[in-house]
Amino acid sequence: MKFVVDQQVEDIELPENLKLNTFLKEFHSDCSHPQCGFGFYGFAFGQSPFPVPNSIQEALIKNVHKGSYAPVPGIPELRDAISEYNKYYFRIDADPQRIYVGPGTKELIFNLLEILHGTVILPTPAWLGYLPQIRFLKKNYHMLPSRANGKFSSHDLRKLALRLHDRQKILILNNPHNPTGLVYDRLELEEIADVCREQGIIIISDEIYAQTTYDFSQFVSMGKIYPEGTFVTNGLSKSHAAGGYRLGYVIFPQHAVDVRRQFKKILATEYTAVSTPIQHAAVAGFEISPEIDEYFETTRNIHHLIGDYTYHALSEIEGIKATKPEATFYLLADFNTFATELQRSKISTSQKLSESLMVHPYHTAIVGGDSLVLERNDYRARIAFIDYDGAEVYRNYQNQKPKTHSEKLEFVKTNAPRVVSGIKMIGTFFDNLKRNAGIKIETQETLMHVTI
């Protein structure tokens, strides 16, 4: 029997994070050094390392028996809790009617792109999830490259929008930003909003990392600045370390009643509703409580500590630059000063660079630039500084919060030794590259059959 898959599906590629997953799984058996036994320094995955908060786990257990379908936009208790949560943390006053729940923000962003007319404006570098969706939906899109400070400017946004003739344009704003870890401040958001009002641009504001902002008082939601034109998406995945629960939400713009009605049709057609027990568990995650508040504070402080360390350790390696993260658990490292040496070693793309860093003895997994919607020969890469035991580090932080600079350094060295050694290993790789020694190009051949 020969099955024929629709051409539209044939034409899209597996999203880069899933390719990477396959690649890393296959890697062990592919290492050309059988006694090696070493896994890899895991700087590639975008997953919070902490345990899911207890209150969510308990609520899930308590609600496992709930087997009936939930209402399409979500159970009322959850929409109420999300509304209160947004008031409390983000000062967004959104009636629960404006909140729809979905199986992860990835799906909700896809659904929004499905129903909203217009050319998509995608600032780059970008999270690796957007582009396959835009391509799959065959939407027109334009990249909006960031400036040297790692952010796009409202000036460039206006210039691009003036060239587009759709009635409506859709900007995908990701704030805080994956992969740079940067945060757009209020003034920058106001400037962007001004251009959007003037140029007929609506915004999908992906704020999945909002709670990880190290100085939380600095985070401002675009839903607050441009409430009439912004769809805010957020969820459990990063703030509550529960990506596997698949629970996200969207807050619709004020007065977008018809869009909500249309959206409901799409959700009902595609997945009916999010799993009922998961929705009940999520209520516990969005309820305001001292436990959850402490969880956010502790986890963001740990991200901050390890982010600062990673930034400084990388920047101290001659030739490497990096964005200084203000949120998330990522930064963007820039290896372009090594372009000549990399080309000379036949590492002609950033993808090849990440493959080369994976081979023995480096064993370091990062996400190369073309997976981040950068040019193939742009040697920038995302480093996710999460290679440590989240449960243990959480406990250790609570037992003894490091205060001084040296206590913080000691904390990272003791609690995240793989981050420390992995960053050193990146330094070793570039040292060897400069000396043109030890970069075994031939071992890349072994990797070529892997679908990366």
Q: Which residues pair with 102 in a beta bridge?
A: 248
* Tokens encoding 94: 């959104």
313 DSSP assignment: H
Q: Among 146, 221, 237, 371, which residue interacts with ligand PLP (rule: CB under 6 A)?
A: 237
Q: Among 96, 229, 248, 307, which residue interacts with ligand PLP (rule: CB under 6 A)?
A: 248
Give the interface size with ligand PLP as a residue count (CB under 6 A).
Answer: 14
Looking at the Cβ atoms of 90 and 127, the one nearer to ligand PLP is 127
Tell me, what amino acid is at 169?
Answer: K
Closest Cα partner for 331 from 16, 40, 46? 46
The answer to the question of residue 422 lying near ligand PLP (CB under 6 A) is: no
Peptide bond into 125 cis (omega under 30): yes
Report the distance separating Cα 256 and Cα 14, nearest Å: 33
The answer to the question of residue 74 lying near ligand PLP (CB under 6 A) is: no
- The distance in angstroms from the start CA to the end CA of the chain is 29
The answer to the question of residue 46 lying near ligand PLP (CB under 6 A) is: yes
Residues in 333-362 that interact with ligand PLP by CB under 6 A: none
Q: How far is the CB of 175 from ligand PLP (least distance, A)?
A: 9
The answer to the question of residue 235 lying near ligand PLP (CB under 6 A) is: yes
Q: How far is the CB of 270 from ligand PLP (least distance, A)?
A: 15
Whole-angstrom CA distances from 19 to 45, 110, 320, 349 are 11, 19, 26, 17
Q: How far is the CB of 345 from ligand PLP (least distance, A)?
A: 31
The answer to the question of residue 439 lying near ligand PLP (CB under 6 A) is: no
Q: How far is the CB of 251 from ligand PLP (least distance, A)?
A: 14
In the shown chain, the binding pattern of residues 169 to 208 toward ligand PLP, with x for contact by CB under 6 A and - for none, equals -----x---x---------------------------x-x
Q: How far is the CB of 110 from ligand PLP (least distance, A)?
A: 9
* Tokens encoding 30: 């592919």
Closest Cα partner for 80 from 289, 296, 283, 292? 283
Looking at the Cβ atoms of 246 and 304, the one nearer to ligand PLP is 246
Q: How far is the CB of 286 from ligand PLP (least distance, A)?
A: 14
Block residue for tokens 């600032």:
123
> Is residue 107 within 8 Å of 311, Cβ to Cβ?
no
Whole-angstrom CA distances from 397 to 239, 264, 303, 308 are 17, 43, 11, 16
Q: How far is the CB of 298 from ligand PLP (least distance, A)?
A: 21
Report the distance separating Cα 230 and Cα 256, nearest Å: 10
The residue at minimum Cβ distance from ligand PLP is: 104
Looking at the Cβ atoms of 96 and 104, the one nearer to ligand PLP is 104
Looking at the Cβ atoms of 174 and 180, the one nearer to ligand PLP is 174
118 DSSP assignment: S
Report the distance separating Cα 357 and Cα 450, nearest Å: 15
Q: Among 74, 229, 243, 369, which residue interacts with ligand PLP (rule: CB under 6 A)?
A: 243
In the shown chain, the binding pattern of residues 95 to 134 toward ligand PLP, with x for contact by CB under 6 A and - for none, equals ---------xxx--------------------x-x-----
Looking at the Cβ atoms of 235 and 368, the one nearer to ligand PLP is 235
Q: How far is the CB of 410 from ligand PLP (least distance, A)?
A: 30
* Tokens encoding 359: 């081979």
Block residue for tokens 């001004």:
194
Looking at the Cβ atoms of 43 and 338, the one nearer to ligand PLP is 43
Looking at the Cβ atoms of 129 and 402, the one nearer to ligand PLP is 129
Burial zone of 132 (CB within 10 Å; 0-12 exposed, 13-18 middle, 19+ buried) = middle
Measured CA angle at 213 (ends 111, 280), to 5 deg: 50
The footprint of ligand PLP (CB under 6 A) covers 46, 104-106, 127, 129, 174, 178, 206, 208, 235, 237, 243, 248
